[in-house]
Amino acid sequence: MSIHREPLHEQIAQTLRDEIRAGLRPGTKLDSESALSKRFTTSIVTVREALLLLAREGLLIRKQGSGTYVAEPPKSMHLAILTDGHLYNAQTSPFFLSAAMAMVRQFAAAGYAARCYMGGQKECPADKDRPVTYWSDAVKKEEVLGVAALATQPNAAWMEPLTARQVPIVGPAHRFEYGVTHDHANFARCAVEYLVARGRRRIALLGWHSRQEPSAYYDRTLDELRAAHGLQTPPDWAPPAASNLQVGETWRQFRRLWSSSPLKPDGLVIGDDWQAREVVPALLEIGIRIPEDLLLLAHSNKGSGLSYPFPVVELEHDPESYGEAMGRLLLQRLRGEAIAERRVVSPFALVEPEALKRSRPASWHDGQVA
């Protein structure tokens, strides 16, 4: 088993970081690079890398011809958590609010202030109850140490100036170079495998990927699933997710799917819990028996409190774990640490109702699938 060792300059930086936070006063002059190289028994070049890293973090000030000093804590400097929509919106809050709060706690434990912003794509207006500090203002004032683009897309208007200043940025892995993903294709594979193990072959998949994501990857995944398991899944049984602003669209998607052909699905995978909320009324209106006529497997978010009037198998994501994975990646980039994987996969867990429990497929290990 290989043992991961941090580069020496990162180890030195962490030692000095701990000493600064343990009580070195602002303005304190550090030992010279030569003295530090002797203390840590390494080269001046390595020591200089460590000092530059801490200077980028705002912990040190390097004065040419004078030396290196402990910086005054910059009260305005912070890590940014960025979304396009309001974290208190009824449809987005269960996941993104929990993920954001997990990052805030994580950053505080690491010694960094954090602020949440709306407006990755466009500025969101303030209201009298929740005044907004505009994201563009924070970027212009150079107050941002790093960005967790939790729920937004890349936008040159703010990315270019931050990238030019070497401010680290992380986000969803299908949109950003460094990021976290749920891997919806693997979600579909595992869901289909579960249904096939229970004798279902006519499987429909609603909203298992978004319209903004490249479709070729998901089309290829669906072709592989058809070939591997002999699925009877026409193309119109696997539409992308409806926009979460189109209330009722998933309800209409399912009714169209069910009425389009005499052939009916006997298994259904729903890629998001808010979509599952819309499918339930359609199932009840049509009078479909669950699970006898249709075995239902749906995405869920841990702690959402969503319940169903019939047995539903859930593939559960933990928003706090997702937020912590994104926050950890941002802190690694901020500290200049070596990053083994730029794309981090957030796992999900199988949650079965008692009425449906039976032996699981071989690929499921303790209910966790990465």
Give pLDDT, residue 102: 96
For residue 109, being part of any structural domain is answered with yes
Do 189 and 107 share a domain, yes or no?
A: no
Q: How many structural domains does the chain have? A: 3
User: Looking at 70, 86, 104, which one is the last position of a domain?
Assistant: 70
CATH number at 15 reads 1.10.10.10
> Is the same domain home to 227 and 360?
yes
Domain holding 99, by residue range, is 78-167
- 230 with 361, same domain: the answer is yes
In a domain, 332, yes or no: no
Q: Which of 122, 142, 167 is the last residue of a domain?
A: 167
118 lies in some domain: yes
Question: Among the residues of 32-155, which ranges form H helices?
Answer: 33-39, 44-56, 93-109, 135-140
Per-10-residue mean pLDDT of the chain, 370 residues long, equals 64 88 82 94 94 86 90 77 72 78 92 82 46 71 87 90 89 93 84 93 84 68 90 86 69 90 93 88 94 93 88 93 96 86 91 74 46
341 in any annotated domain:
no
Cis, bond preceding 234 (omega within 30 deg of 0): no
Is 339 part of any domain? no
**Closest to 301 measured CA to CA, from 101, 103, 96:** 96
- Domain assignment present for residue 179? The answer is no
Boundary (domain end) residue, out of 119, 134, 167: 167
Regarding whether 15 and 147 lie in a shared domain, the answer is no
158 shares a domain with 44: no
Same domain? For 131 and 84 the reply is yes
pTM: 0.73
Residues 6 or more apart whose CB falls under 8 angstroms from that of 30 comprise 16, 36, 51, 60, 67, 68, 69, 70
CATH number at residue 223: 3.40.50.2300
- Which tokens is 179 given? 């990021």
Nearest one of 151, 141, 149, 194 to 356, comparing CA atoms: 194
- CA–CA separation, 19 and 111 (whole Å): 13
- Are 156 and 276 within one domain? no
Count other Cβ atoms within 10 Å, centred on residue 355. Answer: 8
User: Are residues 113 and 34 part of one domain?
Assistant: no
Burial of 299 from C-beta contacts in 10 A (0-12 / 13-18 / 19+)? buried
| Dist CA 302 CA 316 (whole Å) | 6
Show the tokens assigned to 144. Answer: 């941002």
Does 102 lie in the same domain as 28?
Answer: no
- For residue 112, give the amino acid letter: Y
Q: 272 with 359, same domain?
A: yes
Specify whether 66 is located in the same domain as 92.
no
In this structure, what token pair is assigned to residue 307?
A: 């319940």
Are 111 and 194 contained in the same domain?
no
User: Is there a domain that residue 113 lies in?
Assistant: yes
Task: Look at residue 340 and tell me if it is in a domain.
Answer: no
